Structure 1
């Protein structure tokens, strides 16, 4: 969201909400100890949230998680166990995950 239009005078951030709030799939990049919950995003359109966070102990690896609204069917690709993805395969994994989430 840092690249989306920003207007200090717009207290409700309508311009930013218009871009993110109308997407079915949203990727959230998490920094630090932030805990994401879907209730943060107030949208009837968002159905799938994919959270990505740099692994604290494994260089070049990312923790990936998904949360969905009720009624969204399961979709692939399946997560590895544990849900850790190397940076070289992260882009492809997220692309497939997002497309399948859109169609689920």
Structure 2
């Protein structure tokens, strides 16, 4: 992993659509997500090579803007270990609440 990408989107449905488009467009891995304001703002975080993350964020922004809008986005090459620690804390919160059978599609 050389980079992380973050995109904040208005609305959960748009965020899921954007994440799906991101994962299909580039060789990136989904790390975690955060929702705020009751799901009105959703941040999706992916990781991968810098160019793949840039492509994923660009694709996710276009898809989100087709539905609602992307509020903010960033690509962070070579993130600091403390940045990754913060993201892993977020990921651990949701990993304890994952739904069984979600990968059965």
TM-score by length of 2: 0.32
TM-score by length of 1: 0.32
Q: Which is bigger in relative contact order (C-alpha 8 A, separation at least 6)?
A: 2
More helix by share: 2
Q: Which has the larger radius of gyration?
A: 1
More strand by share: 2
